[in-house]
Structure formats: structure tokens, C-alpha cells
């Protein structure tokens, strides 16, 4: 068994977000998972389901623009998931472009709003981050 300092406690799983508190808040854990991506989260959930106390360390330095990540790792936050959503938006644009060929009456004034797409992608990613936090809390 080992001790670390924790910012948030969720039943058997703790999320530590790079804040170190006073020694009086030391907690004891059976497992320390480094990384809140898919592998780290799966490991933490499995260990918690076996009755172990688990700490998940997940931290990414903010970007030059101040962007930080939620739980889920690179894929959820800046990789696979956002890329696939932007890719799908591009496919929809192409489909609209070719829709007339297939009998659709499309208004010629259709235009894309980048800010709306960006907000939708950010919202979806945040919903995944929240879902990961809830799942950890339930363990």
C-alpha cells in the first residue's frame, strides 16, 4: 500500500489533478494509474471493481492558448473523436453538394458556420469527459 496526495475523492477511485495538498490529506491506495486515457481508465475501473483503492493521475500542461483536457486521453480530447466529427462534417458538405444529382431540391444559399461546428465538437468531447468522470465516481 502507498500514499499520495489527492484533490478529489470518488469512493474507491481518486482523481489527482496535479495539485499537492498538505500532508494531512494523504490517502492510501492499492494502485496508482498514470494517465486517464482508455487504458488507464479501464485499468482503474477493473481494479476498483475488485475492491481496490485506485488513484488516477491525469494531467496535461495547458496549451499556449490555455486549452486543457478532460478525462479520456488524446483520442477523446484532441485525436480520434474530434477528427472523426470534423471529417463527418466534411462528408455532409460534400453530400449536400451532390444532392441535386439525386433529386434533392437544395437551396443555393447553404453555407457552413465554423464556430457552430467547433462548439458542437467541443460539447461532444466534454460530454465524453463527463461520462468518464461519472463512471469513475460510480466505482
Q: E strand or H helix at 31, and its extent?
A: strand 31-34
Note the pLDDT tens digit of each residue in 42-95: 999 999 999 999 999 988 888 888 888 899 999 999 999 999 999 999 999 999
pLDDT at 16 over 50: no
Predicted TM-score (pTM) of this structure: 0.75
Average pLDDT over residues 122-136: 95
- pLDDT for res 25: 63
What's the rounded Cα separation, in Å, for the pair 24 and 6? 11
Indicate the pLDDT class of residue 17, thresholds 50, 70 and 90: very low
pLDDT at 9 over 50: no
Q: Are 77 and 125 in contact (CB under 8 A)?
A: yes
Which is the CATH superfamily of the domain at 14-138?
Answer: FAD/NAD(P)-binding domain (3.50.50.60)
> Which among 50, 55, 59 is positioned nearest to 15, based on CA atoms?
55
- Tell me the angle at which helices 114-138 and 38-49 cross, rounded to the nearest 10 degrees: 20
Q: Are 93 and 70 in contact (CB under 8 A)?
A: no
What's the rounded Cα separation, in Å, for the pair 139 and 132? 11
Number of C-beta neighbours around residue 127 at 10 A: 10
> Does residue 103 come out as left (phi exceeding 0), alpha (psi in the -120 to 50 range) or beta?
left
The DSSP bridge pattern shows strands 13-16 and 8-10 to be antiparallel
Amino acid at each position: 500500500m502507498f500514499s499520495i496526495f489527492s484533490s478529489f475523492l470518488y469512493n474507491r477511485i481518486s482523481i489527482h489533478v496535479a495539485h499537492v495538498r498538505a500532508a494531512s490529506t494523504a490517502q492510501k491506495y492499492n494502485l496508482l494509474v498514470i494517465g486517464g486515457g482508455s487504458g488507464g481508465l479501464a485499468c482503474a475501473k477493473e481494479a476498483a471493481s475488485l475492491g481496490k483503492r485506485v488513484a488516477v493521475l491525469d494531467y496535461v500542461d495547458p496549451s499556449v492558448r490555455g486549452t486543457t483536457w478532460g478525462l479520456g486521453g488524446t483520442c477523446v480530447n484532441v485525436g480520434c473523436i474530434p477528427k472523426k466529427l470534423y471529417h463527418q462534417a466534411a462528408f455532409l458538405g460534400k453530400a449536400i453538394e451532390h444532392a441535386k444529382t439525386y433529386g434533392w431540391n437544395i437551396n443555393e444559399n447553404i453555407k457552413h458556420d465554423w464556430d457552430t461546428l467547433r462548439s458542437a465538437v467541443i460539447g461532444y468531447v466534454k460530454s465524453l469527459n463527463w461520462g468518464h468522470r461519472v463512471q469513475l465516481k460510480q466505482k
